[in-house]
Chain A
Amino acid sequence: MRRRLDAAFAQAILWTAARLVPRCQRQDWFAEWRGEVFQIQRTNRPTCEATRFAAGALQDAFWLRCESISKPSSHTSALGEPRACLAALGTLSAIAVLAVLLIPALRRQILPLPTLEAEDFQPLSLNPSFRDSDLLVAGRDYFSWRNSRPFTATRSIYYQPAASTLQIDSKNRDLTIAWIEDHPFILGAEQTSSAVQTAQGLNVLPLILSYGLWKRQFYGNSSVVGQQVLIGSKRAIIVAIAPQWASELPGSIDAWVFCSPQKMRTIEAQRFAYGYILMRKPSSLTGDRKDGDVGDVIVEHLSRETVAPTSKITLSGLAREHHKLPLQIFLKSTKLAMLVTPFLLLIWPVSFESFPHSRRVDGRFIGFFILKILLLFPVAYCIPLEVAELFTGISPDATHCLQAFLTFAMVLISVHWCLRDQSQRCPNCLRRFSHPAYVGQSSRSLLAWSGMELICRNGHGLLHVPNHATSWFPGASWLKLDSSWQNLFQP
């Protein structure tokens, strides 16, 4: 009984270990170990000897597995298998996208825009006896109020209107500008924060035009973003257009300027210069339930008027334009790369002779090709974005040029690689051809063809790639083998 149990254990261990052994070696490996175990069982050794002996098979199998992983066979690369190829491309794609998501400035560019509605904001008064003028609050009062309620710091924002002169195209216009806190949630500036940072880095004031001023003064021209203007004697750069609903905010503001830290300190100390408080409703925040409850109470007690939601435009078209710029660069570069690809193929040709002609195979074959392209596109989009992000300090134009160039190059290389890889795959099983063998001699072209012969590992056919066009083979030629050949290709 014990001996039978011992034999059963040994067999079970062998069977388990065999799963670790690479498929092509498994049969031989199992036969060898089975023979040895049989020998042990036959020679009346102590019980458990067979099990102890078979335990070594696990180590042996593990060694073979490691060996096969560390040294892929010389005739096929790791990407030879269609699934492995797709998995590798998918992983590469995921890593590229993940890297973009980890960089906040880039994350904002690829994620969908958050929608901020007019009703997400409320102008507040600290004075319970509400009158129109009560909306105005001195800077010092506001900041002392806010400092006593730390949870409002992320919800409320203060802006102070001031009459100023805006010089556009050498013409001065008297406008009401608002000095506003550099706050992440206001006026669609969260989508243009990188532009704001760039402007602050260049020591110019980031300016957001009101929707009305943009329409009135710039005729709704979208190229106004990035233009430099003068506010009084200070240089400013237009970073965005405020949403239409922002025109309803108190103070009839024509343009919004983000305060520098020095300006902010001045405002915080002012006792007799007044401004407005704007508070974001807790409902428009996400993932902050506990603070949201407290915020509800504050809004209930302090809000006196709600901005009329006359417009549902959440962000200005230009902010969206700005947001979409990297995508537009990618699309244009991709289009250009696609146009250039045929010329690249003239210089760096790819043989299409192996491409299948039967309809049944076409779908899978072309589907695999399209899938590879689709998996490489996120890489071609994200990696140039990441590289360009490293150079944002130079200038926005240089960044965009770099992104465009890198995208163009990556798309071109990706498409060419996909075509080349596809031309080296068996139309039936999509595995890469392997076992290249040089056939014939160039000097004997009259007697026989010369060139490279590749084979499908599953025996579906041979690919002949001649050195030069002859009557034997004018170009690369796919020779399909029928099923009678299959026996020769058994592992």
Chain B
Amino acid sequence: MAAEAKLSHTATMILQAISVGYIYGLSVMQATGLPSGTVYPAMRRLERDSLITSKWENQSIADAEQRPLRKYYKLTAAGKAILESARKRYPLLAKIVSPSEMERV
């Protein structure tokens, strides 16, 4: 409950973005329209509060696409529960960050 109370609108948007498939920092930025200086610290905070977890992708995938490794984020069970309750508070959230806007990763 404490984490829920602290969840800001920005954090909720980021959670929503991650939940619908924008799973790395740059894509979250694009989906939410928030600047990088807001998105990354917010994601660190969410990770600290165990609402999301991060994982480095396989080296082979990065090698195949000839780019540096990328860090992917996903919601934890606590994150999902919090997002569910946040969606009730912010009914337009799904429209602001919807899966249809998702770019192919």
A residues near B (Cβ < 8 Å) are: 28, 31-32, 34-36, 38-40, 42, 52-60, 63-64, 67
Residue on B with the closest CB to A25?
Answer: B44
The answer to whether A53 and B67 touch across the interface, beta carbons within 8 angstroms, is no
Mark B32-66 against chain A: 1 for CB-CB distance below 8 A, else 0: 00011111110011001000000000000000000
B68 is contacted by which of A34, A60, A63, A67 (Cβ under 8 Å)? A34
B67 is contacted by which of A32, A38, A64 (Cβ under 8 Å)? A38
The answer to whether B40 and A39 touch across the interface, beta carbons within 8 angstroms, is no
The answer to whether B26 and A60 touch across the interface, beta carbons within 8 angstroms, is no
B69 is contacted by which of A31, A55, A56 (Cβ under 8 Å)? A31
Please give, as numbers and ranges, the residues of chain B lying within 8 Å of A59 by CB-CB distance: 36-38, 40-41
Please give, as numbers and ranges, the residues of chain A lying within 8 Å of B48 by CB-CB distance: 67
Q: How many residue pairs between the two chains, A and B, have CB atoms under 8 Å in the bound complex? A: 58
Please give, as numbers and ranges, the residues of chain A lying within 8 Å of B37 by CB-CB distance: 55-60
Question: Total interface residues on B, using CB and 8 Å?
Answer: 19
B71 is contacted by which of A35, A42, A52 (Cβ under 8 Å)? A35
A57 is contacted by which of B36, B45, B67 (Cβ under 8 Å)? B36
B residues near A (Cβ < 8 Å) are: 24-26, 29, 35-41, 44-45, 48, 67-71
The answer to whether B44 and A32 touch across the interface, beta carbons within 8 angstroms, is no
Besides A35-B70, A38-B67, A57-B36, 15 other A-B contacts (C-beta < 8 A): A31-B68, A36-B25, A36-B26, A36-B36, A55-B36, A56-B37, A58-B37, A59-B36, A59-B38, A59-B40, A59-B41, A60-B41, A63-B44, A67-B44, A67-B48
The answer to whether A60 and B71 touch across the interface, beta carbons within 8 angstroms, is no
User: Which 5 A-B residue pairs are closest in the complex by CB-CB distance?
Assistant: A56-B36, A56-B37, A59-B37, A63-B41, A35-B68
Please give, as numbers and ranges, the residues of chain A lying within 8 Å of B70 by CB-CB distance: 32, 35-36, 39
Show 19 residue pairs from A and B whose CB-CB distance is below 8 angstroms, ordered by the A residue: A31-B68, A31-B71, A35-B68, A35-B69, A35-B70, A36-B26, A36-B70, A38-B68, A53-B36, A55-B36, A55-B37, A56-B35, A56-B37, A56-B38, A58-B37, A59-B36, A59-B38, A59-B41, A60-B37
Bound-complex Cα distance A56 to B29 (A) = 11
A60 is contacted by which of B24, B40, B67, B69 (Cβ under 8 Å)? B40
Please give, as numbers and ranges, the residues of chain A lying within 8 Å of B44 by CB-CB distance: 60, 63-64, 67
The answer to whether A32 and B41 touch across the interface, beta carbons within 8 angstroms, is no
B11 to chain A minimum Cβ distance, whole angstroms, is 13
The answer to whether B67 and A35 touch across the interface, beta carbons within 8 angstroms, is yes
Please give, as numbers and ranges, the residues of chain A lying within 8 Å of B25 by CB-CB distance: 32, 36
Bound-complex Cα distance A112 to B3 (A) = 59
A332 to chain B minimum Cβ distance, whole angstroms, is 53
Bound-complex Cα distance A52 to B26 (A) = 13
